[in-house]
Amino acid sequence: MPGIKISAPSKSNLTATIKLNGSKSISNRVLVMQALAGKAGELKNLSNANDTTTLLRLLSNESDQILDAGDAGTTYRFMTAYLATSPQRNFLTGSARMLERPIGILVEALNEIGANIRYAGKEGYPPLQIGSPNFDFHDTPVLKIDASISSQYISALLIIAPSLPKGLRLLLEGESVSMPYINMTLSLMNYFGIEAMQNGTNYHIEPQEYQTKDIEIESDWSAASYFYAIAALSKGEVNLQLKTLYKPSVQGDAVIADIMHKLGVETVYKPDGTVHISKKTPTKLKDFEYDFTNCPDLAQTLAVVLAGLGIRAKLSGLQTLQIKETRRITALKTELEKLGAKIEITDDSLEILEGIKAIDKNNLPVIETYKDHRMAMAFAPLVLKLGTLKFDNKLVVNKSYPAFWADLKILGFGVK
Q: Identity (one letter) of the amino acid at 83?
A: L
The residue among 256, 319, 250 whose CA lies nearest residue 25 is 250
Beta-sheet pairing, 287-291 with 312-316: parallel
Cis peptide before 248 (omega within 30 of 0): yes
Q: What is the spatial distance between Cα 319 and Cα 328, in angstroms, rounded to a whole number?
A: 10
End-to-end CA, the chain: 14
Which is catalytic among the residues 71, 220, 297, 407?
A: 297
d(CA 317, CA 295): 9
Helix (H) or strand (E) segment spanning residue 159: helix 151-160
- Tell me whether strands 342-345 and 349-354 are parallel, antiparallel or unpaired: antiparallel
Cα dist from 251 to 63, 74, 183, 220, 383, whole Å: 32, 15, 9, 8, 28
Give burial (CB, 10 Å; 0-12/13-18/19+) of 36. Answer: middle
Residue 57 to residues 50, 61, 327, 372: CA-CA distances in angstroms? 10, 6, 28, 22
Which whole-number Å values give the CA distances from 336 to 5, 34, 74, in the listed order? 17, 42, 27
Closest CA to 302 of 369, 338, 344, 351: 351
CA distance 209 to 33: 10
- Rounded CA separation 308/229 (Å): 10
Contact 148, 175 (CB under 8 A): yes
Q: Does the annotation mark 297 as catalytic?
A: yes
SS3 396: helix
Distance of alpha carbon 83 from alpha carbon 130, whole angstroms: 7
Enumerate the active-site residues: 297
